[in-house]
A = this chain, B = another copy of it.
Amino acid sequence: MIRIVIVEDQAMVRGALVALLSLEHDLEIVGEAPDSTTAINIVRATRPDVVLVDIELPDTNGIATVKMLAAELPDIRFIMLTTFGRPGYLQAAIAAGATGFLLKDSPSEQLAQSIRRVHNGVRAIDPDLAVAALTLGPNPLTPRQRDVLRMTRIGKSVQAIADELSLGMGTVRNYLSEAITATGAVNRHDAVRIAESRGWLD
């Protein structure tokens, strides 16, 4: 019997996944969580074999959660489940200690199979995404460029960013300009969008 915890914020999807996995006789759902905080408590309490984690969570990022839990409980296997096939996410998830990485676009039959694979210590990673992650290469943004992009993302003005980082406005604009070039974007907002879609801002 493989003991499983499911971490997924959308209640309807979470309930549906529970129903899906309950159909498999060798799998047992021992816990559910809608956010990182709950997830950490439940995993510590139940010590499951496999944890299924959605990356997009309301509080902390699912990757950070896995990183913490994987360090603390090395016997537990983690499978990331995500809507977005962002190569940067895959790279980060592997680095954090995840053994599996599935897209919500994948067929539902694959979920139970991947759980069994991962439980046996075998990696279960979407092959297309693995290729994309290799093709894409590493994050081309410098720390400062990421800073200004992140602050731009939440709607801060150049003036506000300059004040907060104790920089001249020209400097901030320059980082934005460099980030625009590095991402191949056409303006700062486009750069934010592209960097985010590649998982370069986390």
Kindly report how many copies of this chain are found in the complex they form together: 2
A155 beta carbon closer than 8 Å to chain B? yes
Contact of B108 with A14 in the complex, beta carbons under 8 Å: yes
A80 beta carbon closer than 8 Å to chain B? no
The chain B residue with its CB closest to the CB of A83 is: B10
- Which size bracket describes the interface of A in this complex? 20 to 34
A17 to B10, CA, bound (A): 13
Contact of A105 with B186 in the complex, beta carbons under 8 Å: no
Which residues of chain A have a CB within 8 Å of any CB of chain B? 9-20, 22-23, 81, 83, 102-111, 155, 157, 186, 189-190
Q: In the A-B complex, list the 6 residue pairs whose CB atoms are closest, starting with the nearest.
A: A15-B108, A16-B16, A19-B20, A189-B189, A10-B104, A16-B20
A116 to B: closest C-beta gap in Å: 16
